[in-house]
Each structure stands twice: as structure tokens, then as C-alpha cells.
Chain A
Amino acid sequence: MSKKILVVDDEKDIVETLSFMMRARGYEVIEAYDGEEGLKLAKEQSPDLMILDVMMPKINGYKIARLLKYDSKYKHIPIIMVTARGQDSDKLIGEETGADEYITKPFEFEEVLDCVNKYLEA
């Protein structure tokens, strides 16, 4: 059974391209376009990995990561944070919230894929 990846980003174009490439690598992909929907899907669908944008309407990525990582039911889900913000302070917040990886935009697709493989192929 193929592994399930949840992609959460309010930029539809980013979600669409990421999903396409992940699917092409044989992953199952579910999509969400804002924080609220992302959190809901994470809880309902229990994905094997999440790719999470930081700046989003309704609930931001940091908060979603925190909510999931402090919940024993979901804390095993690896989270890859993706954001346009590159400052160190943001990176720290990302680590404190328990995100497993941190990738800044603009990213190369290979970079994301390496990250994903690290968690899903091992």
C-alpha cells in the first residue's frame, strides 16, 4: 500500500505541483488549502507525512504542528515545514513546535523529495 502524504498550503499552484510530483513517485496525496482544513484532514486521515506551509489563513503552520506534536495520537506523523521566511528566529520557532524538517521557499523539488524519502523509505 502506498504511503499517504498530506500537503497543506494556501497557494494552490504549489499544492498542485507538489502533489503531481509526489504522485509521480508513487505516493498517495491528499490536499488542503488552509490551516483549518489541513488540521482536520491530518486528524481524519492519519497521513504518513505532512508537508506544511507556515503562513496560511485561519490557522498557521506553527500552530498546526504544535497541536499535532503535543497530541500523542498524532505526534508520530513527520512534519516538513515549508515557508518563505528564512530568518533564524522562524527556524527556531519551527523547531520548537516540533516540526521534523524545515525547508524554505523557493525550494527545489529534489530537496523536498529527499526529506520525504528519509521518513517514508526507512
Chain B
Amino acid sequence: MPRKFISDNISNMTKIFFIGKNDTYIEKFNEFSFEVNSTSEFNNETFNLIDEFEPDIVILDDEIFDSKIVLKQLISKNSNNDFSIIFLIDEKNIEDFDENDIFLLSKPLNPKILINELKKIEKIKTSYNLLHKENQELKKNLYQIDVLYNASSKFAGTLEKEKLYEVAFEIFERVLSFDLASFLVNDNFEGNKLKFYINSLKKTTDEFNSNLIKNLSRKAKEENLDTLKPNHFELEIIQKTKPSYKNEFFDNEIENYDKLTAPVIIKGKFEGIFEIIRKNPFTKEDITCFQSIIHQLLAPLRSAILYEDIINANKKLKNLEKIKSEFVSIVSHELRTPLTPINNALGIILSEQGGKIGDINKNFVNIAKRNVSRLSGIIEDLLDLSRMQTGKFDFKFKKTDIYPSLELAYNTFKTPAQNKNLEFELILDDGLPEVYIDPHRIDQILSNLITNAIKFTPEGGKITIEAKTADENSVNQKEFIFPSQKQYKGNYLKISVKDTGIGIEKENIPKIFDKFSQIENSLARTTGGIGLGLTITKHFIDAHLGAIWVDSAKNEGSSFNFIIPVYSEQKEFEAELNLKIKNETETGFIKIEEQNKENDFYRYLKDTNIIKLTKHSKEHIYNMDDKSISEVFISDLDRCAYDFMISKIEEEINSKDKSCDIVLTKAYYKKDTV
């Protein structure tokens, strides 16, 4: 039972319950305007009477039967100290009496003295009540301070706007005990959309909501924040109601509530307006609390908005990049088409089937033909680049040995090298292990590297191709190894293309695999080509889960080295999975069947905090429109896949040019299939 607050004005307030037969006391009480209830004997009903009356003081006269036992019962009933007990005892019995916790007055007693005693008791009680009340308020303040103190850390945990609103509501709820909290926000990223968040004890009717919104818009207007015009927007109401009040509605007019309102303005831009409403008026402390919470919300909200901007800009960039790739692809195809008849026509002239053309003309037609094929090469490079960016390269891996590719490369480039008076050598170890490769892509890699070597090596130089095995230690120590964040594990086959050409300056080495790096370099163009060969080469090597690096110094020649993993089942698996991820994240997803949220893998991903984990239903996955979000769905991960995915994701996180929006919707890790 809550303790009532009693004012100093005793005569009006104090309620006395008297158990005794002496009417003169009762008369005296009445005379002093006490509110009195009494009974002349103690029985089963007496406690009920006391409960109903809620007295401040119970006076027990020892005249009644078994008064000491009654006193004991009274004391035990009053364990909560709801009232004070005065026991009137005959002077001659006072020596035997040993109860504490009560007020004792000896008879015969002048009623005036009793009244005086009552006043004293009341004084004590009043002080006690005041103290108690202040203590309660202090406790409440402490609680509020504690919640506010923790608020900033709660806010700091998230970069999502909606989550921040939720946290704000949660904190309001803990410190302000509102009837309804609402937030009307202008959602910039979904076009002209107003969102209205409601968190309430009871349900709200449509009418009530619309009154709330009108009210808020009016307040926004008063603050000169004219952006919230509900009529011009699509309105979405997001409501949360406490389950226990599900069927109760706010039935009163909104005017009947006390309101606290706060507009939220970030970087001069009006974001939205918070309001909490309550039947009981808000106190000064409540207002301070409210202000403090809103204040603490602002900084993280600012970050969240910035984050949203960045995410949005990133999406736009990705889209632009895609459009660019498509554009390049279309244009390249279109360019390629007229080249074919040009080439054919030149071929016909050269064959002299339509008549003799003479040596001079032959020379010029040859020039034309040579440049047509050069142009075709450039267009092919551009097409490769766009394929690379859209993940459309087709890889057909197989378990094979490397000798045929190396021999083909050697035979193809022997003549061009000799024509430039270059020494050309192929050094092969016997018994090189099998690798898991797409031979066609390996041919392209070798062709690119050897073409470069010939191009950049002056006459009289030397080009050496060498293949041997390499272990992970020799690989991991390389300074400029691409991709560089990776740790290389296991055995590799290492292939080097070494020349005695012009070499590369050290500061340029990290850049040579960038797109168009040769063109950007300087006006002093030394050789043809558009600088895509190495970019594509690196892309192919990445797909093989290999790496490439360069040992070079200016004027001392270059050695381009690349490694590809020696065949194993694990490497085969990794290469295939890698390919799937690379290709499908661009356009869709790898789908999954099972889920198990309690596994280490899921937890790992969640802990990294960078990867957003969302759970979708299967239907949602199949019907997803927004393909711009890269999603990876992984199923039936066994031990190998698990390890690999973790290293893969670490790589994504470390690599700077990726935005890491892989979304793992579900993951399944079968522990027993090691």
C-alpha cells in the first residue's frame, strides 16, 4: 500500500482508529477535528475496518479484552509501518510492559496530553514522509541519469537511422513513461515519403494518428520548418503497441495530453520531429531528460545520415560503373563490326585477284592491314575489360599440366622475338606438378607477358621463360604482390617471364596493374597498346587464386612472376567457389537451402560488424528486385568452404576498393563433414 503524503495541517487530515470503550477520548478527537473511527471490541472484523479506513494512527486502550494479544496482532499486521500505534496502558502495569516500536501512554491520561502526543507523532510522521518522498525522487533521478549516461553508448552502436529512432523510443520509455511516443520523419531516400513512427501503450485510431500528424506539422511550421506537408507526401505509419494493451484505444482528444516536442535539425536540414505525450503532466526533470536524449541522438544521427549518403553515392557509382562497362561493351562490338569487311577488302587487294597493284601500293595496303589488326587488338582489350568488370569472363578449369601452354607460348613468340634480334629461351624443370587451370586463360596470360617483354626490350636483349615449383614462404615475403592482402598457403607453380628491357621504376610498380596505367604515365609514350594487358592478366591470375609480382629496376630489365596453386581437391573447390562468388555477386546470388544461425560462421560474420546480416524468406530471395545489392547466399558449407569463406571475407574487408556489401542471408556449417 503506498504511503500517503500528509501535510502539516494535522487537524484536518489525521485519521484515528480507536480500539477502546472510553468515549471521552472519542469526543476529544472530534473536538480537534480528527477524523475518527472506532470499535469497542476487537474481533475478526476489526482488521477489515482498519484496512478500509486507512488510519494514520491506531490507538489501543488496554481496557479491551486480551489487549496485549491484540497489540501483538496489530504490530504484526503493521509490518509495513502504515500507521502509528499508541497503546494506552494502566500505570500499574507499565513496569511489566516490554514492547518497543509503539508509543506508550500511561493512564489515567488527560485527553489534552493525548492530543499533544498525537501532534508530536504527526510531526515525526510528516518529516518521515517528506524524507521518504525526497528519497524516492532522488532514486528516480539517479535512474534517469543512469539511463541517460548509457544512452550515448546505445546510440553509438548503430549507423542506421531507423534503429536510432527505435533506441530513442526505448530510452524515452525507460525514463519518461510516456503514453505515446512518435516521430514524424521526411524520408529523403524513398522519394516523397513521410514516415510516422508510433510507440504507444494503447492502440491509436486513424483519426487520432491524423490529429497527431496535423499537430506535428503545425508545430514544424511554427518553427519555420516547412518541409513536412503530409498532403504532399505518401505517408507510412509504423506502429508499435505494447502487447498487453492491444485492444485498448486512445479515446481522448489529443488536446487532453501533455506533450513534449523536439524538431531534429541536422546540418541545417530538417530531419523530422519527435513528440511524446502523457496524461500526467511532465515535470521539469522530465523536460531536461527529454532534451538531453534528443541532444545525444543528434551526433549519431548525423553520422547515420552521412553514412546513408555514402551508401547512396556508392550505389550510384556502382551503377555508373555498370553503365560505363555496358557502354564500352556495346561500342567495342560496334567498332569491331566494320573492321571485318575492311580487313577482308584489304586482303582481296593484297591477293591481287582483282588485278596487280604493284609493290608501292602493296606496301601501303600492308600498312592498312597491320593497323586494322592493331585496332582489333585494342577493341578486344576493351571488350575484355568490360567482361572483367561485369564478371562475364568464362572460366573452364581443369586438372592438367602446364607444359602444353608453355610450349605453345614459346613456339608462338619465337619468330617475333627473332625478328627483333632477341634471344628467347624456355627453361623447364622436369616433373612439374599438375595445376587446376583454364588453359586458354593461361595462354592469354603468357601471351600478354611475353608481348610486353618483347615490346620493352631493345634489340640484342634476352627473354627467358621459366617454370618451377615454389612454396608459400617464398611467396608471402614479396613486397609488391597482387592481390596483396592475402596469405598464400600450400605449394605453387611459379612461372617467370624475364627480360633485359627498360625496366620499371620502383614507385611505378604498384601501379602497373591498374587500368590504363601506361597511358596515364606520361606523354613520353614508348610503345603502343592501351595499358589493359596487365590488368586483365592480373584478373585471370586472381581467378586462378594465384598472385603476380614484378622484380624490376629502371634500365635493368623486368621479371614478371606469377604463381598458381598446385592441384589439390581443396584448391579445386576454392577455385570453383571463388568463381561463383566473383561472377554471381555482380548480378545475383548463390542460393542456399539450409540455415543454422547458431554456428560459428554466422557469429563470425556478425562479429565483423561490417557485413550486414539479414534474413530473408526463400520467396523473398527469389523475388528480389534490387539486384544492385550484392548478395551471397551460401549453402551446405563444409569445413573447406567454411575456412575459405572466412579468408575470403577477411580479404573483402581488408581490400580498399571493395565496399563489402556482401550480405550473407543464411549460412550453414556442417561440423561433421571435415
Contact = CB atoms under 8 A, between A and B. Distances in A.
B1 interface: no
A13 B371 contact: yes
Interface stretch (A42-50, A52-60, A66-74): A52-60
Given A13-B370, A13-B371, A20 B364 contact: yes
Q: Give me the 8 closest cross-chain CB pairs, A-B, nearest first.
A: A60-B523, A55-B525, A57-B526, A13-B367, A55-B523, A57-B524, A60-B524, A13-B371
Given A55-B523, A57-B526, A60-B523, 9 more contacts: A16-B363, A16-B367, A17-B364, A55-B524, A55-B525, A56-B523, A56-B524, A57-B525, A59-B524
A116 B370 CA distance: 28
Interface string A3-46: 00000001001001100100000000000000100000000000
Contacts of B367: 13, 16-17
A102 interface: no
Nearest to B527: A57
Contacts of A56: 523-525
Contacts of A54: 523
Contacts of B525: 10, 55-57
Interface of B: 360, 363-364, 367, 370-371, 523-526
Interface string A58-82: 1110100000000000000000000
Contacts of B364: 17, 20
20 contacts: A13-B367, A16-B363, A16-B367, A17-B364, A20-B360, A54-B523, A55-B523, A55-B524, A55-B525, A56-B523, A56-B524, A56-B525, A57-B524, A57-B525, A57-B526, A58-B524, A59-B524, A60-B523, A60-B524, A62-B523
Contacts of B371: 13
A97 to B, nearest CB: 12
Contacts of B360: 20
Contacts of A58: 524
A10 B526 CA distance: 9
Residue of B360, B363, B364, B525 with most chain A CB atoms under a 10 A cut-off: B525
Contacts of A35: 524
B519 to A, nearest CB: 9
Contacts of B370: 13
A54 B307 CA distance: 45
Nearest to B525: A55
Contacts of A13: 367, 370-371
Nearest to B526: A57
A17 to B, nearest CB: 7
Residue of A13, A35, A54, A59 with most chain B CB atoms under a 10 A cut-off: A13
Contacts of A20: 360, 364
